[in-house]
Each structure stands twice: as structure tokens, then as C-alpha cells.
């Protein structure tokens, strides 16, 4: 027995001293492939559609690697991936060959993405007709919109003071959502119009790849009519840019923002990952500066990460809801708000008492800032108004503020980095947000119009002289990179 053990030890030692050849590398590659196959079976076996991402310029090699019994539904060349429909039964060997093909970057489910849990409050009210006023009248600090006094969020972020100094805007904000009621009495004049398109002629007049996309596009039904059939997107749009001082309804953070309606979520509030990517790409390619993303779900997907990278390279701001699960996203990631891209602003929700909303996700490093999100009054389809709650409602406050900041004379030529830094560095600190987000504060845009420049600041009682330094923010980014802990 002792002799056997000694021989075994010598054999092991001899094996350890053997020069390394190709065999270990081959084994390692097999192990990597096996891991990918196991992941595919464990996570994606219920998904009927799959995204096969390929290396740029290698679409044909990737196409040849796709199993013959898979149907290629679409080749999305802008994102370098195929949308495939797979059979119910899959051979493990076929998956192994696919994921180990050099031209294939990833194989992911075409996951279902949706709105976060149902909004905590929904109280619709019919609109009241008001007198018509000329569009884009000179700004007043308090607009004549009849429901202004019910907009606690606007007062909380000190929007009325900012309105004194910021006038006119052609900043396009894309509402990537369930669509927008672009005919709404309090939105119609602020809806983006594609001037290169002739409505209803069935022709892609501007050659952007989309027919009759006059006010945006519907990726659910693949047509140029992004009308909202859910309420959510119209509500978001109203907070961003409902027409101000028109004697009707409510007012948005930016009275004159141009709302681009990009629909990828259906009437039930759900949609495919591939459609979300195409919706973001549409906004990126058609002039949006700010992208509002009041939705989430699923996990980390390389296809989505690639698209947000393209958004970053296009110098656009990606504002995303932190989620409504009441979770610490430093530990439990929420996407798309938890992607690592520096052009993302992840937004939590506070209530009217300056406390974190009970439903809101939070995270000292994974969430950037908070904004009003509980019981927010805004527009609803059919010239209605109503209240909804969620980080979905907090996010458009930040998106609207970014658009407002971008049309301030001092920031019209600024990059998204400057816009984001200004919004975060001027967040109003709250004890209730300590350890809950990076800024430990909530959105405050009073810095856009100091009292010395505001003719009507005497109507409000704000401490507008206080300056919020951002040394900690800068130090964190300098020492650790941007959002390493996302």
C-alpha cells in the first residue's frame, strides 16, 4: 500500500513537470463552452426567441453557424445580431457548436421587458377645458395651468424658479415607453414632428428606414403610429413636457420640450428586448438628446449594453428608472439602470415628505439621484389627467430637467457629462437619502435661476443662495472611475 502511494506521488509529480502543450487549452475551451451551454439551458430554455450577436463584419459566418432548424426572423445590422426563433427541442451539440463559433459574440434570450410592478396609485380625472393661449408666451414663474397647485413635484424640485430664466427649447426628449397620446390637448404642441416625412403617404420620405414616422415609431406593431394604449407613456410625457401657461391641465418640467414618442411596450406594458434596442436606436439616430427609460426587467444583456454604448458615443443622456421593488441595487441589480455606462442617470423616488418612497429601489453606488415619484399628477390618453406612482414618474422629472438645463444659455453647448454633473452636484441633500444614492439628495433645479435674476422669486421661500459642492462626487469618480459599483 505504501509503495503504491509513493508511485502515485511520483506519477503526479512527473505529470506536473510535463511541458504544457495544447491539451490544457483545449480542455479550458471545452469547459468554457460547457458553461455557456449550461447557462443557455438553465436560463433561456423557456424563451422562444433568441438573439445571436455576431462580430462586426462577420454576419455571414455567424449565419452559417446558426442551426438549420432555427428560423432567422431578422438580421438587425445596426446592432450586429440575429433575432432567431428556435425549436422547442434543442440538441446540446448544436448549442455547443454555436456558442463556440468565433464569429458569435453572445447568445441571449429575446427577453420580455416590462414596466415595473403596477403603479401604486392611479386616479384618473377628466380634463377641464380652458381658454386657448398663444403658444410659447413669455415665461412667468407661476404658469396659469389650472392644476399647477396640485403638482407637488414641480415645487419640490423648485421648477417654478428655474422657469424664470430658461425660455424656449428645441431639445428633443425621447419617451421610450408604451407610446404617447400625441393628440392630447396638453401635449400636442410639444410633440416632436419629423419634418422630413409626409404624413400618410406610405413612403419613407426621409430615407431613415421608417415609413410615416411623423411623431415617432411603434415597434410593437411596426408602423408609424406610436399612440399610447396603456396610459404609462403619456403620463411620463406630461411630466417631461406638458405645455406650460396654456390655461389647460398641468405643466411639464420643460414647457417647450419636443417629445419624441417611441413605443416598444404593448398595451399590457411588456415588449421584447430586441424591440427595446431598436426603440433606443431610433431615438439615437433621429435627433433625441435625452432618452427617458421608465421601464426595466430581466438581467444583463450584452445586446442592450452594446446599444447603450452607442448612445454614449452619440453624446446622449440615458435617464433610467431605478425600479419599484424596494431593493438595494448595489446587491440586486436592476436593468437598464444598473448598466455601467457613465451616461446613465439612475433615478429613485421620493414622496412629498422628502422620504424615499416605500416602493423605490435604492443603492449608495448604483442609484444616482432621487426625484418626486409618489402620487404624481400628469397627462393620460384622451385628454385626461391622473395620478401614478413609481420610479417611472421620478425619472421624467430628471429627464425634463436635463432638457431644461440644455436650453439654458450657459449650457446650450455643453456635453452630457456637464449636464449630468450639474444635476447631480446641485442635488438637495436629504437625511432620508443618506446611503441610499450616490448624491444622497433629490433633484433641485433652482440653481438655474438665482434670486438676483428672478423677478418673481419673492413669491416663493427657497434658500436659493445655498451652493451644493460636488467635491465628493468628483473625488469618487477620479479615484474609482464612473459607477464601478453598478
Report pTM: 0.83
* pLDDT per residue as tens, the chain (486 positions): 443 443 443 343 343 443 434 333 334 446 776 777 776 666 566 678 999 999 999 999 999 999 988 999 999 999 999 999 988 777 778 788 888 899 999 988 899 999 987 554 454 433 333 333 333 343 447 899 999 999 999 999 999 999 988 755 679 999 999 999 999 999 999 999 999 999 999 999 999 999 999 999 999 999 999 999 999 999 999 999 999 999 999 999 998 899 999 999 999 999 999 999 999 999 999 999 999 999 998 889 999 999 999 999 999 999 999 999 999 999 999 999 999 999 999 999 999 999 999 999 999 999 999 999 999 999 999 999 999 999 999 999 999 999 999 988 889 889 999 999 999 999 999 999 999 999 999 999 999 987 654 443 333 332 222 333 333 333 233 333 333 222
Closest CA to 279 of 180, 186, 385: 180
Give me the residues paired with residue 218 across strands: 223, 263
Helices marked H in 86-218 — which ranges? 92-99, 152-156, 159-163
Alpha carbons within 13 angstroms on the beta-carbon side of residue 340 total 10
Q: What is the 3-state secondary structure of 178-197?
A: CCCCCCCCCCHHHECCCCCC
Predicted pLDDT of residue 94: 78
- Provide the residue ranges of all domains of the chain, joining segments of one domain with +: 32-110, 148-448
Q: Following DSSP, what letter does each residue of 346-402 receive, concatenated?
A: EEEEE-TTSSB-TT--B-TTT--EEEE-SSEEEEETTTEEEEE-SHHHHHHHHHHHH
C-alpha 282/C-alpha 345 separation (Å) is: 20
Predicted pLDDT of residue 451: 66
Distances (CA, A) of 349 to 244, 251, 391: 24, 20, 5
C-alpha 402/C-alpha 320 separation (Å) is: 13
**Helices 302-313 and 273-285, packing angle to 10 deg:** 10
Closest CA to 87 of 98, 103, 71: 71
Q: What percent of the chain has pLDDT over 70?
A: 79
Predicted pLDDT of residue 18: 39
Report the topology of domain 32-110: Alpha-Beta Plaits (3.30.70)
Closest CA to 427 of 465, 468, 473, 398: 468
C-alpha 300/C-alpha 284 separation (Å) is: 21
C-alpha 265/C-alpha 357 separation (Å) is: 25
CATH number 3.40.50.200 given to 148-448: yes
C-alpha 129/C-alpha 248 separation (Å) is: 7
Alpha carbons within 13 angstroms on the beta-carbon side of residue 417 total 9
* Contact (CB, 8 A) for 382 and 405: no
* Contact (CB, 8 A) for 296 and 360: no
Tell me which residues are annotated as active site.
Answer: 177, 232, 392
Question: Cell 420610479 belongs to which residue?
Answer: 391
C-alpha 314/C-alpha 311 separation (Å) is: 5
Q: What is the DSSP letter of 448?
A: G
Summarised one tens digit per residue, pLDDT across range 26-76 is 344 467 767 777 766 665 666 789 999 999 999 999 999 999 889 999 999
Predicted pLDDT of residue 475: 29
Give me the residues paired with residue 82 across strands: 52, 75
Closest CA to 183 of 234, 108, 240, 120: 234
Cα distance between the two ends of the chain: 56
Distances (CA, A) of 147 to 142, 214, 219, 243, 436: 11, 30, 33, 12, 32
Predicted pLDDT of residue 310: 98
* Contact (CB, 8 A) for 65 and 97: yes
Helices marked H in 242-378 — which ranges? 273-285, 302-313
Amino acid at each position: 500500500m505504501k509503495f503504491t502511494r509513493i508511485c502515485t506521488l511520483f506519477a503526479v509529480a512527473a505529470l506536473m513537470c510535463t511541458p504544457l502543450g495544447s491539451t490544457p487549452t483545449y480542455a479550458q475551451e471545452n469547459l468554457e463552452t460547457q458553461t455557456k451551454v449550461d447557462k443557455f439551458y438553465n436560463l433561456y430554455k423557456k424563451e422562444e426567441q433568441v438573439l445571436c450577436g455576431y462580430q462586426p463584419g462577420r454576419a455571414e459566418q455567424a449565419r452559417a453557424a446558426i442551426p438549420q432548424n432555427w428560423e432567422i426572423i431578422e438580421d438587425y445590422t445596426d446592432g450586429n445580431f440575429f433575432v432567431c426563433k428556435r425549436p422547442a427541442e434543442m440538441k446540446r451539440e448544436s448549442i455547443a457548436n454555436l456558442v463556440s463559433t468565433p464569429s458569435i459574440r453572445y447568445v441571449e434570450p429575446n427577453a420580455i421587458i416590462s414596466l415595473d410592478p403596477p403603479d401604486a396609485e392611479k386616479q384618473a380625472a377628466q380634463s377641464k377645458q380652458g381658454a386657448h393661449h398663444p403658444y410659447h408666451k413669455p415665461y412667468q414663474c407661476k404658469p396659469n395651468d389650472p392644476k399647477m397647485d396640485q403638482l407637488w413635484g414641480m415645487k419640490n424640485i423648485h421648477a417654478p424658479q428655474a422657469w424664470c430664466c430658461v425660455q424656449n427649447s428645441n431639445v428633443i426628449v425621447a419617451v421610450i415607453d408604451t407610446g404617447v397620446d400625441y393628440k392630447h390637448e396638453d401635449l400636442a404642441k410639444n410633440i416632436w414632428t419629423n419634418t422630413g416625412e409626409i404624413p400618410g403617404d406610405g413612403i419613407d420620405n426621409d430615407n431613415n428606414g421608417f415609413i410615416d414616422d411623423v411623431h415617432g415609431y411603434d415597434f410593437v406593431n411596426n408602423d408609424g403610429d406610436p399612440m399610447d394604449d396603456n396610459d404609462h407613456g403619456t403620463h411620463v410625457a406630461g411630466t417631461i413636457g406638458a405645455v406650460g401657461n396654456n390655461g389647460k391641465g398641468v405643466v411639464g418640467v420643460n414647457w417647450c420640450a419636443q417629445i419624441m414618442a417611441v413605443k416598444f411596450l404593448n398595451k399590457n406594458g411588456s415588449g421584447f428586448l430586441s424591440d427595446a434596442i431598436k426603440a433606443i436606436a431610433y431615438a439615437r439616430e433621429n435627433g433625441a438628446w435625452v432618452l427617458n427609460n421608465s421601464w426595466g426587467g430581466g438581467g444583463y444583456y450584452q445586446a442592450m449594453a452594446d446599444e447603450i454604448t452607442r448612445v454614449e458615443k452619440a453624446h446622449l443622456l440615458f435617464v433610467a428608472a431605478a425600479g419599484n421593488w424596494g431593493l438595494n441595487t448595489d446587491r440586486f441589480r436592476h436593468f437598464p439602470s444598473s448598466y455601467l455606462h457613465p451616461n446613465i442617470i439612475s433615478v429613485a423616488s421620493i414622496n412629498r415628505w422628502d422620504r424615499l418612497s416605500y416602493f423605490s429601489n435604492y443603492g449608495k453606488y448604483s442609484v444616482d439621484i432621487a426625484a418626486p415619484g409618489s402620487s404624481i399628477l400628469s397627462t393620460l390618453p384622451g385628454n385626461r389627467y391622473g395620478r401614478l406612482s413609481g420610479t417611472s414618474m421620478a425619472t421624467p422629472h430628471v429627464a425634463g430637467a436635463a432638457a431644461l438645463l440644455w436650453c439654458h444659455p450657459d449650457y446650450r453647448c455643453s456635453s452630457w457629462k456637464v449636464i449630468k454633473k450639474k444635476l447631480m452636484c446641485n442635488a438637495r441633500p436629504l437625511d432620508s437619502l443618506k446611503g441610499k444614492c450616490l448624491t444622497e439628495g433629490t433633484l433641485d433645479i433652482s440653481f438655474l435661476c438665482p434670486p438676483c435674476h428672478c423677478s418673481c422669486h419673492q413669491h416663493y421661500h427657497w434658500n436659493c443662495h445655498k451652493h451644493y459642492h460636488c467635491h465628493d462626487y468628483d473625488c469618487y469618480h477620479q479615484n474609482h472611475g464612473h459607477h464601478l459599483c453598478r
